[in-house]
Chains A and B, each alone.
Chain A
Amino acid sequence: MAYSNKVLDHYNNPRNVGSLDKSDPNVGTGMVGAPECGDVMKLQIKVNGAGIIEDAKFKTFGCGSAIASSSLATEMLKGKTVDEALAIRNTELVSELSLPPVKIHCSVLAEDAIKAAIADYKKKTGAPAEAAAQVH
């Protein structure tokens, strides 16, 4: 299968690979898996006092599209507020990376990972999901 140049770029030079301290109360960790292809994706965000995502890291075991989707996702997350991050849709990843239909589930996985990381962060900070959404 032919990957787009953008997928290849993220695959060959993945941004923000690594991990953040899971026990840090300002770090949210999302771990998701794709039933379609057996991929496993870990995505972490670090939120500063102003509610801005100041760092994001990922590690993905899977195909090129899954790696590219999560790599791009971490780039998009940095500098966003938690609520802006929640608004990221997989379709943005699909169009940015020109993912073919058979690889759309990779972008869905990345969106799920973002949501899981944010949910974990909110759980840690003790803010119920609805209340946290109204803060900003």
Chain B
Amino acid sequence: MATYFEALGIAPRLSVDPEALRAAFYQRSRELHPDRFARADREQQARALELSSLLNDGFRTLRDPVSRAEYLLKLNGFDIGEQRSKDVPPELLEEVFELNMAMEELKAGDEHARGPLEEARRKFSALVAGTDETIDGLFASWDASQSRDDLARIRAALNRRRYLSNLLRDAEKALAPES
């Protein structure tokens, strides 16, 4: 079974130029178009269809940096458990606690919690942005090194990002006016 990178005919790298990815996708899609296989035998048609489906899955997966990195981690034998996504970064315990507290108070109707929660939202939004920068740096580092250590660091950063963005999403939901 070919990898998504192979299906798209691109190098297995974490830093991917979105335009180049799109171009590769269109190019390969044309090559695998059913019209081209109208006269081919049944086996070749089935093969083209299979590759075409792999190509579509591949494009969807690789165009998003997070799912691209998760896919690459899986290819390299890393277990991407949903559980690990909830790791509480120890240095953020206080902030996570305060965020939860403010959300609970606001849900209970205490409008005084709105200010602290907005503050917490700003903080977590900045933390997500910071994690994104870290991840970009790690992508570049792995592309150059292809080292397993980098992949382990990427997995940790992705877990942290998911944890933080889940909290951020919860905070935004709590702050949103009742619809």
Contacts and interface: CB of A to CB of B under 8 A. Distances in A.
Interface string B132-176: 000000000000000000000000000000010000000000000
Interface residues of B, number: 13
B102 to A, nearest CB: 11
Interface stretch (A6-14, A37-45, A126-134): A37-45
Contacts, number: 34
B86 A38 contact: yes
Nearest to A116: B93
19 contacts: A31-B93, A31-B94, A31-B97, A32-B93, A33-B96, A34-B88, A35-B86, A35-B87, A35-B88, A36-B83, A38-B87, A38-B163, A39-B88, A40-B88, A40-B96, A40-B97, A42-B97, A61-B97, A61-B100
Contacts of B177: none
A59 interface: yes
The 4 A-B residue pairs whose C-beta atoms are closest, nearest first, are A33-B88, A38-B86, A61-B100, A31-B93
B101 A33 contact: no
Interface of A: 31-40, 42, 59, 61
A37 B97 contact: no
B90 interface: yes
Contacts of A36: 83, 86
Contacts of B100: 40, 61
Given A59-B97, A61-B104, 15 more contacts: A31-B93, A32-B93, A33-B90, A33-B93, A33-B96, A35-B87, A36-B83, A37-B86, A38-B87, A38-B88, A39-B88, A40-B100, A42-B97, A59-B101, A61-B101
Contacts of A40: 88, 93, 96-97, 100
